Amino acid sequence: MQESATIVVTGAAGFIGSCMVQSLNEKGYENLLLVDDFGIERKRKNWEGKIFLEVLERHSFFDWLELHKPKIDLIIHLGARTDTTEFNYAIHEALNVEYSKSIWNYSVEHKIPLIYASSAATYGAGELGYNDDHAVVEKLKPLNPYGVSKNEFDKWALQQNETPEYWTGLKFFNVYGPNEYHKGRMASVIWHAVNQIKNNGFVKLFRSHRPDFKDGEQLRDFIYVKDLMKVIDWMGDHMMHKTWRKKNNGIYNLGTGQARSFYDLAVASFKGLDLSPKIEFIDMPLDLRETYQYFTEANMQKLRNAGYTNHFYTLEEGVDDYVRFYLRTLKYM
């Protein structure tokens, strides 16, 4: 990327968005327009130490654009309502569908490359597998309103005749890493595990409520947030230098391609604290049981075919880095 570029990052006060801002700062980008709801005090440490041009409230962002008419080189749209236990679809629709349409349309009108966050929640129970084939998107059956909203936008994007010259939607799988301290119940299992170890000396994992999975052996594709940054940096670099191939526009999985168990994750969390594992099993809350994914694993061939060759952190590498260098001292990225 060119360091003088002006880049919009939505969701900049959140977990992934604030990590994105830090990653851009580390590469020399300071002309950043940060968009979010900045009134949430518990998110303040995510963004207050970063370097940027402006912080812009989500609800007034488009008014600001109309007034100032900045030249924008790239939009990284990570802002969303991500709470999978929020069952009021209207909330998800407003933020994850309608707001995203406005971002898309602005990108089209002003010929700005766009990278946006989709989600592996679009895959539902995985009946159709985890392949980022555009033909599958219409057939997917997400398990909660959050997943539905993300899939509705993916469907809408694929139906558009007018698109940004360069664009990608990234289906994030189970992301973990620094700057999720504010997320509470929705934080990663690693964050919860380390807190439990510090407070109680052991980790609680959900029992399986399916006969084909043993307790703690539910499998997810866990991806370290630093890998997300590498992929987005790579795509953004090609888009801004106009070396991105238009035939590669579209929706991509973003996981590691390797499903791992929650048990393995818990063991790695203990190791990051230099402790021996001690794990207990508890019943899964009733409000989660019917919508719980027991297996996710990203097919990553499409991203590889587009030319991405970097190594992904293994579960052990990523968890150790996160626990040892961030969670142990509550450090931010």
CATH of the domain at 27: 3.40.50.720
Q: 110 with 40, same domain?
A: yes
Q: 139 with 198, same domain?
A: no
Q: 231 with 103, same domain?
A: yes
Catalytic-labelled residue, pool 45, 155, 183, 204: 183
What is the structure's pLDDT at 185?
84
Please give the mean pLDDT across all residues of the chain.
Answer: 95
- Tell whether 333 is covered by a domain: no
Query: Does residue 287 have a pLDDT over 90?
Result: no
The tens digit of pLDDT for each residue in 122-147 reads 999 899 999 999 999 999 999 899 99
- Tell whether 267 is covered by a domain: yes
Q: 95 with 240, same domain?
A: yes
The tens digit of pLDDT for each residue in 1-22 reads 456 899 999 999 999 999 999 9
Residue 190 belongs to a domain with what CATH number? 3.90.25.10
Q: 120 with 194, same domain?
A: no
| Cα distance between residue 31 and residue 21, in whole Å | 11
Q: 194 with 130, same domain?
A: no
Side chain identity, residue 226: K
Q: 162 with 203, same domain?
A: no
Query: Does residue 312 have a pLDDT over 70?
Result: yes
Residue 173: half-sphere exposure toward Cβ, Cα within 13 Å: 27
What is the structure's pLDDT at 147?
94
The tens digit of pLDDT for each residue in 27-69 reads 999 999 999 999 989 999 999 999 999 999 999 999 999 999 9
- Tell whether 139 is covered by a domain: yes
Question: Where is 282: in which H helix or E strand?
Answer: strand 279-282
Catalytic-residue membership of 230: no
Question: Where is 8: in which H helix or E strand?
Answer: strand 7-10
Q: 99 with 55, same domain?
A: yes
Q: 149 with 44, same domain?
A: yes
User: DSSP labels for 183-244?
Assistant: GGGGS-HHHHHHHHHHHHSSEEEEPP-STTS-TT--EE-EEEHHHHHHHHHHHHHHHHTT-S
- Tell whether 330 is covered by a domain: no
Residue whose pair of structure tokens reads 């794990």 in the numeric block: 279
What is the structure's pLDDT at 182?
92
User: DSSP labels for 154-180?
Assistant: HHHHHH-SS--SSEEEEEE-EEE-SS-
Number of structural domains found in the chain: 2
Side chain identity, residue 120: A
pLDDT mean over 158-183? 97
Q: 43 with 131, same domain?
A: yes
Catalytic-residue membership of 242: no
User: Could you tell me the residue range of the domain that residue 147 belongs to?
Assistant: 7-176+222-257+295-313
Q: 65 with 212, same domain?
A: no
- Tell whether 331 is covered by a domain: no
- Tell whether 319 is covered by a domain: no
What is the structure's pLDDT at 2?
57
User: DSSP labels for 63-116?
Assistant: HHHHHH----SEEEE------TT---HHHHIIIIIIHHHHHHHHHHHTT--EEE
Q: 189 with 232, same domain?
A: no
Catalytic-labelled residue, pool 116, 123, 146, 292: 146
Asked if 77 and 116 touch (Cβ cutoff 8 Å), the reply is: yes
